[in-house]
Structures are given as structure tokens and as C-alpha cells.
């Protein structure tokens, strides 16, 4: 005998559906790659992510196809992320900090068909893609006014693609064991190794990550994920924040102490996550300018060993709990 309550597959498109239905008004704030601070909501991101899906389907993307992103933490990256995963394609987050030779190996090994790229990384992609024969199309994540002249294959302007696309698309309707995301290791011996996430694994990780001893996210939280989306799914925050209805503040390309401080203060950030070097930069900026960040209650630090002095500084000088 099988229980039939809530008998539906655990696929991540349901997370953004939930955010739209129950927290649609909650803001997602981005320091855009072009410069200005831009604001959107989960409801708007849901619509635009569906447009990404429709465009991919028009380009004959099938379930299991690898679609890459080479991008910073932005609202647009969230849209592309869910738009790719929602139709059963695999979102392959590329790490721009790898050597070009490693990126070439990774793109070819994954068999990426298309790449969504931020303006910052267009020159990098122009250098590596002549060695990547599987890539058919590149979508530059900007508008027509900032679209660069480029030799990238099949280059498309992201905003123009969305303007021409319908949001009429069905998400899900596949097994929860379907591949969802792909991330390659760095700093290992030999070539980078690919780690393939399923929808189920990401969904369950999201539920566990929302526990009070981890993210502890709620609709009243304002979360600043400085840890990149190409670093282990931003430690799950790109799923956890919309699942909880938390406001998201996306730092874009600027992760220096002054830029992070500005976002924390202007947006009332309560929780943030980053590697130790980011926190050391912020700590230096705070001390040098005799500043405080009273809204921040907790920070998550990982990716490498955290110096005890850094933990004590945030706790003793700023009253911030370090996880």
C-alpha cells in the first residue's frame, strides 16, 4: 500500500512556484553588472524564468541537455537558473576563476550546448570557445543598449530574447531523480571532476538548509549571498531564500569591503554567506572607517579554514554569530 498524500516529484521548479504564489512581492535586489542597483520580485523572476524556458525550447533544448552559465550572483542569473532547470535541462555553473585550459576541458567534457554569460566574462568566453565545438549559442545577459560587438557563436541579447518569448510553458512533469545541476571541482589533482545534482537532492538539501541551525531563513530575513552561485549552488541559498520567501540581495561583480558594506546598510541585510577572504575585506573596511552593521545577526563562512581571529572579531566587535 502506498501513501498518496502530496504525491508529486520533488523538483526545484516548485520552489520558485511557491515563492511566486506565497511571497511574490518579496524583493530581489541586484547590483547589476552594468552598474545600477535594480529591483525585482519573485513574481517577476518567475515570469522571466518561464520566458527563458520558452526560448530554450524554441532552440530545441531537450531534457538532459547541458546549458551553462558564466555569471555573477544577480537576479538574471536566478532567472536563467530556474529557466534551465524547470524544463529538465541541466544548469552547468562555470567557475570563471579557473584557468582557461580548465574551462575548455569542463565545457567539452560536459558537452554544453549553450552558455548564458555576463558582460564581464565575454572576453574570457571569446578566448575559450574556439576550442569548444559543442557550444551552439551564447546568450549575453544584458540589454540591447549594452550588448557588445562580439564574435561569440550565435550570440543573442538576453533582454531581447525575453522580450520575444512567451511565458506559456510547463515546468516539471519529469522524475525527481532527473539531473538538475552540474558543478566541477577545483583544486583537485588532474582535471576537474563533475558533480551532478538531481532535483531531489537539491530539494532535500533546501529543506534541511532551512533549519534554524543552518540558514534559518524566514520571510523577514534579508539574505546577501556573496558566495557565488558557481560555488556549490551558492551553498543552497538560491533555493533556500525563495523557498522561505526571504528578500535576496545579490552583489553582482563587486565583492570588496566597501561595496558589501553599502549593500548591507542600504538593504538591511540580516544574514550573509561568503568565503573568509570576503569577510576579511569587510572587517578591514569596518575597522578602518569605524563602522557598524547592526542589522546583521549571523554570517556563514566556509570554503576554506576560517581563522579564529576572524570569528572572534565579528562576535566580539560587532555581535555577529559566525556559523
Reported as type and span, the H/E element at residue 219 is: none
Cβ contact 252:270 at 8 Å: no
Higher pLDDT, 153 or 206: 206
Residue 279, C-alpha cell as written in the block: 569577510
SS3 (DSSP) at 66: strand
Residue that the C-alpha cell 520567501 belongs to: 245
Q: Measured in whole angstroms, how far is the alpha carbon of residue 312 from the centre of its chain?
A: 29
Nearest to 120 by CA among 137, 97, 104, 136: 97
Phi, psi of 117 (to 5 degrees): -130, 140
SS3 (DSSP) at 274: strand
How is the beta sheet containing 90-93 ordered, strand by strand? 156-157, 137-140, 114-117, 66-70, 90-93, 179-184, 194-198
| Per-domain residue ranges of the chain | 23-244, 255-322
Phi, psi of 266 (to 5 degrees): -70, -30
| Distant-in-sequence, close-in-space partners of 159: CB < 8 Å, separation ≥ 6 | 142, 143, 144
Q: What is the pLDDT of residues 11-47, one digit of tens each?
A: 999 999 999 999 999 999 999 999 999 999 999 999 9
Q: What is the average pLDDT value for the chain, to the nearest integer?
A: 96
The mean per-residue pLDDT over the stretch 286-294 comes to 97
Cβ contact 184:194 at 8 Å: yes
The pTM (predicted TM-score) of the whole model is: 0.96
- pLDDT category, 2, cuts 50, 70, 90? confident
SS3 (DSSP) at 278: helix
23-244 belongs to which CATH class? alpha beta
Cβ contact 92:271 at 8 Å: no
User: What is the predicted pLDDT for the residue at 303?
Assistant: 86
User: What is the predicted pLDDT for the residue at 187?
Assistant: 63
User: What is the predicted pLDDT for the residue at 188?
Assistant: 67
| Distant-in-sequence, close-in-space partners of 81: CB < 8 Å, separation ≥ 6 | 49, 69, 91, 229, 238
The mean per-residue pLDDT over the stretch 277-305 comes to 95
The mean per-residue pLDDT over the stretch 239-251 comes to 98
The answer to which of 52-56, 82-86, 208-212 has the lowest mean pLDDT is 208-212
Per-residue burial over 68-95, b if 16 or more Cβ lie within 10 Å, else e, is bbbbbbbbbbbbbbbbbbbbbbbbbbbb
User: What is the predicted pLDDT for the residue at 304?
Assistant: 87
In whole angstroms, give the CA distance from residue 276 to residue 292. 19
Q: What is the pLDDT of residues 172-192, one digit of tens each?
A: 999 999 999 999 987 667 889
> Per CATH, which fold does 255-322 belong to?
Rossmann fold (3.40.50)
Q: Is there a shared CATH topology between the 23-244 domain and the 255-322 domain?
A: yes
Amino acid at each position: 500500500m502506498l501513501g498518496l498524500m502530496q504525491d508529486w516529484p520533488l523538483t526545484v521548479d516548485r520552489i520558485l512556484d511557491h515563492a511566486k504564489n506565497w511571497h511574490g512581492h518579496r524583493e530581489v535586489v541586484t547590483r547589476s553588472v552594468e552598474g545600477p542597483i535594480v529591483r525585482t520580485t519573485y513574481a517577476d523572476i518567475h515570469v522571466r524564468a518561464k520566458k527563458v524556458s520558452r526560448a530554450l525550447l524554441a532552440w530545441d533544448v531537450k531534457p538532459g541537455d547541458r546549458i551553462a552559465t558564466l555569471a555573477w550572483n544577480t537576479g538574471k542569473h536566478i532567472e536563467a537558473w530556474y529557466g534551465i532547470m524547470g524544463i529538465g535541462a541541466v544548469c552547468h555553473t562555470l567557475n570563471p576563476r579557473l584557468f582557461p585550459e580548465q574551462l575548455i576541458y569542463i565545457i567539452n567534457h560536459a558537452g554544453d550546448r549553450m552558455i548564458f554569460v555576463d558582460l564581464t566574462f565575454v572576453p574570457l568566453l571569446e578566448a575559450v570557445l574556439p576550442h569548444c565545438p559543442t557550444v551552439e549559442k551564447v546568450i549575453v545577459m544584458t540589454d540591447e543598449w549594452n550588448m557588445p560587438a562580439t564574435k561569440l557563436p550565435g550570440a543573442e541579447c538576453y533582454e531581447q530574447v525575453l522580450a520575444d518569448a512567451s511565458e506559456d510553458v510547463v515546468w516539471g512533469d519529469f522524475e525527481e531523480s532527473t539531473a538538475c545541476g552540474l558543478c566541477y571541482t577545483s583544486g583537485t589533482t588532474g582535471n576537474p571532476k563533475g558533480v551532478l545534482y538531481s532535483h531531489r537532492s537539491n530539494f532535500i538539501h533546501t529543506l534541511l538548509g532551512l533549519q534554524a541551525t543552518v540558514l534559518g531563513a524566514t520571510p523577514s530575513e534579508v539574505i546577501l549571498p556573496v558566495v557565488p552561485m558557481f560555488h556549490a549552488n551558492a551553498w543552497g541559498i538560491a533555493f533556500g531564500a525563495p523557498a522561505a520567501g526571504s528578500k535576496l540581495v545579490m552583489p553582482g561583480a563587486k565583492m570588496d569591503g566597501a561595496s558589501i558594506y553599502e549593500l548591507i546598510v542600504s538593504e538591511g541585510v540580516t544574514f550573509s554567506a561568503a568565503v573568509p577572504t570576503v569577510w576579511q575585506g569587510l572587517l578591514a573596511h569596518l575597522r578602518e572607517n569605524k563602522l557598524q552593521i547592526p542589522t546583521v545577526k549571523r554570517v556563514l563562512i566556509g570554503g576554506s579554514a576560517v581563522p579564529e581571529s576572524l570569528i572572534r572579531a565579528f562576535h566580539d566587535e560587532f555581535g555577529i554569530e559566525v556559523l
